[in-house]
Amino acid sequence: MSDEQLSNFLDRTIRKLRTGWQAIAGSSYDEIAASSRPDLPGGDLDRLRGQIRDCLGLRGGEVSARARVAAIGRVYLALDTTGRERFLLVMAEEFGVDHDAVGEAVDAFRNANGEVAMLDAEAQLRTSLVASRVRLLSKFNALPDGIKFLVDMRAELLKLAGKHSTLQPLEQDLKDLLTSWFDVDFLELRRITWDTASASLLEKLIAYEAVHAIESWDDLKNRLDSDRRCFAYFHPRMPNEPIIFVEVALLNGMASNVQDLLDEAAPMQDPSAADTAIFYSISNAQKGLAGISFGNFLIKRVAATLANEFKGLKTFATLSPIPGFIKWLEIALAEGEPGLLTRAESKVLSAASISAPGAESPLKALLVSDWNADEAVFQTLRSPLLRLCARYLIEEEGKNAQALDPVAHFHLANGATMGRLNWMGDNSVKGIRQSAGLMINYVYELNRIDDNHEAYTSSGKRAASSGLKNLLKG
């Protein structure tokens, strides 16, 4: 899906929210006023502040409270990027924690006499520490599609929080609310099929696919065929919006190349004869839920569902990208890290005369030229690149001893074992650029998932196959 198509798709989502709240909202500063001055100038900011205070007050009943909240939501949706930024800054900077109230609550807690007074003071202190804006945000839960509105608001905040540090507490407040509302026990696992899914839902799969772009409706239909499976988590308050979805191929044997896996002309497999389930794409569909983990639960539940449906399945694995490999290699080369190549590798590369303009290291050839188009260069670089990628996956560390590669960290934290490294597993332009075409199979051995998870999260120990470890030896 092109950027223009995605923008149009998101615009339709916004229009749906605004239409859904039209009958509820009513306010002197409304969507029409906001639409005429979408950058939220100073005079409108003052009117917005008054409306937020009205929402936080206790005046009126539940119906009028919903109307005031819906009016504020419709104003927000009518603003442009500048206006929304100002809106969020007002909420973050002017409707936070009341520090005077906290001070009074602390004094009351210190001076409490007796157990009952202590418990009352403790409850008062907890209440005082909650920002007033949290009460406003919570009210959107009662509106149709109100949770989707907050998810999208957090996506906006995540883009702005680096620019304005004062927005970070608001973003954290919203994340805390969404984390509690999106507990995995509240979510529904649903299989998506070509015949039963709505056109709108199928369109969303195309828009949200984040690993291997869906190029056409035929491509999507192929991914939903009888030898494939697609599962997604849904929230009961967002029944038509996938939260995260996984695409699975049912095969005989381990997959090693994603182009073969997605080939629309490839013959259909008999799913009842499959012995391997390959998870080849896992996409988080809602940017506003970033940092709230669903993937580990999704993989385990889908594996259990497939094992129950197909008794012949013995292996559950992924065919995964290695998005950080070339970036890591570029940094190591730029910093002149010694020992990237072994002595034997350096001799072989030098003898093959692999070089590029301005590339003092033979390895830099793959960063500044179409190295994979030259068969001699292609074959000569294979061995060192496999070894370096194995080193990157097994040894290189990020914070807290985590795997440096984000996809590796995701699967290791979920209890997977790093399996086979596949040469030219993704020969697309993107695959060559981000990982020199390499892909990896993460294997989910159902009886080892919990032990692997504990070892990785507690000490950073990474479960890896003997074949991957042997690549370190060159």
Residue 356 has pLDDT above 50, yes or no: no
Q: Per-residue pLDDT for 355 more than 70?
A: no
Least confident residue range of 47-61, 267-281, 320-334: 47-61
Average pLDDT of the segment spanning 194-221: 94
Residue 100 amino acid letter: D
Instruction: Please give the pLDDT value at position 64.
Output: 75
Angle at 148 between CA 299 and CA 235, to 5 degrees: 40
User: Given a cut of 50, is residue 357 above it in pLDDT?
Assistant: no
Structure tokens at 207: 């828009």
Q: pLDDT at position 7, please?
A: 56
CATH code linked to domain 185-318: 3.40.630.180
Top-confidence residue, 22 or 108:
108
Q: Specify the pLDDT at position 202.
A: 96
Q: Which two tokens stand for residue 125?
A: 């202190």
Domain covering 325-471: architecture: 3-Layer(aba) Sandwich (3.40)
Residue 344 confidence class, pLDDT cut points 50, 70, 90: confident
End-to-end Cα, the chain, rounded Å: 41
Q: Is the pLDDT of residue 17 over 80?
A: no
User: How do the domains of the chain map onto residue ranges?
Assistant: 3-96+131-181, 185-318, 325-471
Average pLDDT score, the chain: 88
Give me the mean pLDDT over the 201-219 stretch: 94
- Single-letter code of the amino acid located at 330: E
Q: Is the pLDDT of residue 363 over 90?
A: no
Per residue in 120-154, pLDDT (tens digit) is 999 999 999 989 999 999 999 888 889 999 999 99
Q: Do domains 3-96+131-181 and 185-318 have the same CATH topology?
A: no
Is there a catalytic annotation at residue 35? no
Predicted pLDDT at 60: 57
Beta carbons within 10 angstroms of residue 184's beta carbon: 15
pLDDT value for 26: 54
What are the pLDDT digits (tens) for 407-446?
Answer: 999 999 999 999 999 999 999 989 999 999 999 999 999 8
Distances (CA, A) of 19 to 22, 70, 152: 5, 11, 16
Catalytic residue among 128, 212, 235, 411: 411
Rounded Cα distance, 405 and 414, in Å: 14
What is the per-residue pLDDT for 22?
Answer: 54
Mean pLDDT of 63-84: 88
- Are 450 and 417 spatial neighbours (Cβ–Cβ below 8 Å)? no
Smallest CA-to-CA distance from 294 within 238, 247, 229, 245 is with: 245
The active-site residue out of 164, 320, 458, 466 is 320
Question: If you average pLDDT over residues 216-236, what whole number do you get?
Answer: 95
Kindly tell me the burial class for residue 296, based on how many C-beta atoms sit within 10 Å of its own C-beta (0-12, 13-18, 19 or more): middle
What pLDDT band is residue 354 in, cutting at 50, 70 and 90?
Answer: low
Whether residue 320 lies in the annotated active site: yes
pLDDT at 471 exceeding the cut of 90: yes
Structure confidence at residue 263 (pLDDT): 94
Between 143 and 193, whose confidence is greater? Answer: 193
pLDDT of residue 374: 72
CATH fourth-level superfamily of 3-96+131-181: Malonyl-CoA decarboxylase, oligemerization domain (1.20.140.90)
| Confidence band for 219, pLDDT divided at 50, 70 and 90 | very high
